[in-house]
Amino acid sequence: METKKISKVDLIFEHIDPREVLTKAYGMTRDEIIDEILESGLKGRGGAGFPTGMKWKLCSEEKEKTKYIICNADEGEPGTFKDREILDRVAYKVYAGMTIAGKAVGAKKGIIYLRGEYKFLLPQLRMQLDGFLKMSNEIGYDFEIDFRLGSGAYICGEESALFESIEGKRGEPRNKPPYPTHSGLFGKPTVVNNVETLVNSVIILKYGSKKYKQMGTMFSTGAKVFSVSGDTPIPGIYELELGMSLLEFVKEFGDGDTKAVQVGGAAGFCVPRKLFASTVIGFEGVPTGGSMKLFNSSRSMYNVLHNYLEFFTEESCGQCTPCRVGCQQLLRGVESVKKRESKSTYLNELVKLADTMKIASKCGLGQSVGNAFKSIVENFREEIIY
């Protein structure tokens, strides 16, 4: 598999003149904007990696008059703090991305769904938004942006639970189909994009899709903002080209004793040292919404797993049985093996349960619990048993 040398870039946080990009996009047709995003190969930065241009195209083809652009700034994945930084430092690029998406799909209203814990950012965001809207109106755009605050539920980052939350209902995922581009917020065609995805769309329009595609790999074009934490001497936010091997990453950010990296937060995979060299960070390998947690040999992987399972048990919305009951059973199960109340072979049954949750759960929460569970049980079994 093609891998890239680790390479730091500075595009997301680079200051640009938003007027220039907005004016350029204003002069383009809706199809031209969508084609440019399609051509760039941009995939969503919120975790699922759906092609952004395709999402915009599907929504633009809907005949409804009322459509919405939602910026998903819920950022609930453990270990992820990049969207907060983007909003703090370059919110105008998020507003510009939403405005351009609005033009492309034919939406006049955008909403930023902001994680409740980021309420402290609201005064500065509102002030910057006022200035931004004045400018975009002067150029000729007729696009409003507003904020809604989350209330601390991880599930509300899931796009359809997010709609329910904005609509004033309990945050629970909807059945799909219909998909949001056909029937989303208030039943209207809706594009939901992550904060970083929207900023990437601005970068693509500024520099062109050809230049953008020179970064990353064929399947994972561009760069990504990583939230690096755990056992690292240099925790923080880094923008790196996609497609590097995990070994390259650990050489740069590890402390010389890294035994595992949790790629993609609690919903992601725990990659052990023996697989660092063969693991590609990107959609062709291990995808990530941006969370990279390094663990050294001082860590008990049982504690790591227990912590994730407690998180999922707490955050399961409880609507579907495989997720609600499955999370509790996995947690109790590993506890009972650790306490020697169950045989170690019981872990094999729990792996089967995690597999069932992947196919039987209603949304991405229950479907992804097995990622961390299986990768930790399979690679660090001895730490769970003893």
Ligand X SMILES: Cc1cc2nc3c(=O)[nH]c(=O)nc-3n(C[C@H](O)[C@H](O)[C@H](O)COP(=O)(O)O)c2cc1C
Applying CB under 6 A, does 59 fall inside the site for ligand X?
no
| Region from 5-13, 134-142, 322-330, 358-366 binding ligand X, contact rule CB under 6 A | 358-366
Cα dihedral across residues 123, 125, 130, 131: positive or negative? positive
Of 72 and 319, the one with the shorter C-beta distance to ligand X is 72
Applying CB under 6 A, does 265 fall inside the site for ligand X?
no
| Beta strand ranges found along 52-206 (DSSP E) | 68-73, 109-114, 144-149, 190-194
Helix H or strand E encompassing 55: helix 52-60
Of 161 and 246, the one with the shorter C-beta distance to ligand X is 161
Helix H or strand E encompassing 272: strand 269-272
Asked if 108 and 143 touch (Cβ cutoff 8 Å), the reply is: yes
Torsion angle of the four alpha carbons 200, 126, 288, 117, in this order, in degrees rounded to the nearest 10: 180
Q: Minimum distance from CB of 316 to ligand X (Å)? A: 9
| Region from 68-76, 132-140, 352-360, 370-378 binding ligand X, contact rule CB under 6 A | 68-76
Phi and psi, residue 314, nearest 5°: -70, -40
Q: Minimum distance from CB of 267 to ligand X (Å)? A: 7
CA distances from 33 to 3, 104, 210 (A): 30, 6, 14
Asked if 99 and 58 touch (Cβ cutoff 8 Å), the reply is: no
Determine the 3-state secondary structure of 267 from DSSP.
coil
Member of 40, 181, 190, 197 binding ligand X (CB under 6 A): 197
Of 56 and 253, the one with the shorter C-beta distance to ligand X is 56
Applying CB under 6 A, does 183 fall inside the site for ligand X?
no
Cα 97 from Cα 23, distance rounded (Å): 13
Structure tokens at 245: 């091997």
Q: How many residues bind ligand X (CB under 6 A)?
A: 23
| Region from 61-69, 121-129, 193-201, 241-249 binding ligand X, contact rule CB under 6 A | 193-201
Print the binding letters for residues 310-349 with ligand X: x by CB under 6 A, - otherwise: ----------------------------------------
Applying CB under 6 A, does 76 fall inside the site for ligand X?
yes
Nearest to 174, CA basis, from 166, 359, 184: 184
Asked if 132 and 18 touch (Cβ cutoff 8 Å), the reply is: yes
Applying CB under 6 A, does 204 fall inside the site for ligand X?
no
Member of 18, 41, 44, 285 binding ligand X (CB under 6 A): 44
Cα 243 from Cα 220, distance rounded (Å): 7
The answer for residues whose C-beta is within 8 angstroms of residue 29's C-beta and 6 or more apart is none
Applying CB under 6 A, does 241 fall inside the site for ligand X?
no
Amino acid, res. 239: E
Of 199 and 350, the one with the shorter C-beta distance to ligand X is 199
Member of 22, 145, 354, 363 binding ligand X (CB under 6 A): 363
Strand partners, 214: none
Q: Minimum distance from CB of 75 to ligand X (Å)? A: 5
| Region from 43-51, 228-236, 294-302, 351-359 binding ligand X, contact rule CB under 6 A | 43-51
- The residues in 122-181 that bind ligand X, with binding defined as CB under 6 A, are 154-155, 157-159
Amino acid, res. 132: F
Task: Label residue 222 left, alpha or beta by phi (over 0 means left) and psi (-120 to 50 means alpha).
Answer: left
Member of 6, 12, 75, 136 binding ligand X (CB under 6 A): 75
Applying CB under 6 A, does 226 fall inside the site for ligand X?
no
| Region from 101-109, 279-287, 339-347, 359-367 binding ligand X, contact rule CB under 6 A | 359-367
Applying CB under 6 A, does 47 fall inside the site for ligand X?
yes
Nearest to 260, CA basis, from 309, 304, 311: 304
Member of 99, 183, 194, 245 binding ligand X (CB under 6 A): 194
Give me the residues that bind ligand X (CB under 6 A), please. 44-48, 50, 72, 74-77, 154-155, 157-159, 192-194, 197, 363-365
